[in-house]
Amino acid sequence: MDTISLQFTEQVRAQLALANNITILTHKNPDGDAMGSGLALYNYLQEKGKNSTFIVPNDLANYLNWMPGVENTIVYETDKDKAETIIAATELLFFVDFNHSSRLSAANDKIAGLQIPKIMIDHHPEPENIANIVYSRISASSTCEMVYELLNGLENDNTLSKDVATCLMVGIITDTGKFSHNSSNPATFMAAAGMLKAGIDKDFIVDKIYNNYSEDRLRLLGHTMCNKMVIIPEYGTAFISLSLEEQQKFNFQKGDAEGFVNYPLSIAGITLSAFFMEKENMVKCSFRSKGDFPANILSQNHFKGGGHLNAAGGESQLSLNETIEKFKSILPEFEKYFNNAKA
């Protein structure tokens, strides 16, 4: 069973002994795993008496705005001066849930040249060489699973606080779609069991994440699936899109379209699902796939993005319609994966 190495845990222990001012960074548009792993580390370090700060590149979505410690999170984009003062005094950096400097957006300019120890904990493929100490495990369900093992190893005695365990559970739940994908490794359930032992209220967490949306959001979901989903049967593909005008019509709030891209995969015979969302200066692209279809390669090669085999994201500078046309035109490149799925 894949699990954390003792060597990594001991390296982290040694670094923690040397540093008091510690900053944790995660990727732009932070999702549940990014916020979960970052806030878990933040809370843990605070409990240990360290002066820790969690910085996110841009604002987070409402569905995560209740997490323990979230009120102390610094948003780089809106609080640049404060973030830069903190970064300048930092003695140790943690990178969680990303492995490419581009995922930090503008915050990367302040990080890249810093001559201080950098520790990366992440589960995305092909890590870039941006940290001194790296724990990368593609088979992990989530970065939260890895942080759980780290903290458990550091403590040796299963004494995570309820706050830390609550944050970690958010990442496992969201990155596995409530234990439906990326969760066939016993390590994932052992981590979840440890969190339950720490006293988390799992039902409360699920309720906060999934049952806390606006009426507009549910109507937007209905509109998107009913009126905007296009199926391309010969390529086992479905895609959805939302223009800025449609978003305005449904009073779109950040995070409202979270998870939309997963729904078309529930149709029999669909192997690839894509979602194109128009933004002010680009089109945000999301891809989800089944089996061995490499959504990350598709995104990396054509949409300046990346991610996991079955969940990837990217962007396009073309118009919404041109982006959709481009997407349709590249599908033949991936024909063998559609055929594999049919076999």
Which single residue brings its beta carbon nearest to Mn ion? 33
Residues forming contacts to ligand 5GP in the complex (CB under 6 A) are: 100, 286, 305-308, 311-315
**Of residues 12, 19, 22, 33, which one binds Mn ion by CB under 5 A?**
33
- The answer to whether 238 and 270 are in contact (CB under 8 A) is yes
# residues near Mn ion by CB under 5 A: 4
Q: Where are the alpha helices (DSSP H) in 112-230?
A: 143-155, 162-175, 186-197, 202-210, 215-227
305 makes contact, choosing from Mn ion, ligand 5GP, none, with CB < 5 to 8 Å by partner type, with ligand 5GP
Q: Supply 189's token pair.
A: 């359930």
CA angle (251 as vertex; 167, 203 as ends), nearest 5: 30
**Of residues 25, 86, 97, 200, which one binds Mn ion by CB under 5 A?**
97
List, in sequence order, every beta strand (DSSP E) within the chain. Answer: 21-25, 51-56, 74-75, 92-96, 118-122, 133-136, 230-232, 237-242, 272-278, 283-289, 306-307, 311-316
How far apart are alpha carbons 267 and 204 in whole angstroms? 30
Considering only residues 142 to 161 of the shown chain, the ones binding Mn ion according to CB under 5 A are: 143
Rounded least distance, CB 180 to ligand 5GP, Å: 15
306 makes contact, choosing from Mn ion, ligand 5GP, none, with CB < 5 to 8 Å by partner type, with ligand 5GP
37 makes contact, choosing from Mn ion, ligand 5GP, none, with CB < 5 to 8 Å by partner type, with none
How far apart are alpha carbons 177 and 194 in whole angstroms? 19
* Edge-to-edge order in the sheet of strand 230-232: 230-232, 237-242, 272-278, 283-289, 311-316, 306-307
145 makes contact, choosing from ligand 5GP, Mn ion, none, with CB < 5 to 8 Å by partner type, with none
Q: Which stretch binds Mn ion (CB under 5 A): 49-57, 94-102, 246-254, 331-339?
A: 94-102
- Contact status: 258 vs Mn ion (CB under 5 A): no
Nearer Cβ to Mn ion, position 90 or 143?
143
How far apart are alpha carbons 287 and 261 in whole angstroms? 7
Considering only residues 275 to 314 of the shown chain, the ones binding Mn ion according to CB under 5 A are: none
Chain residues in the site for Mn ion (CB under 5 A)? 33, 97, 143, 175
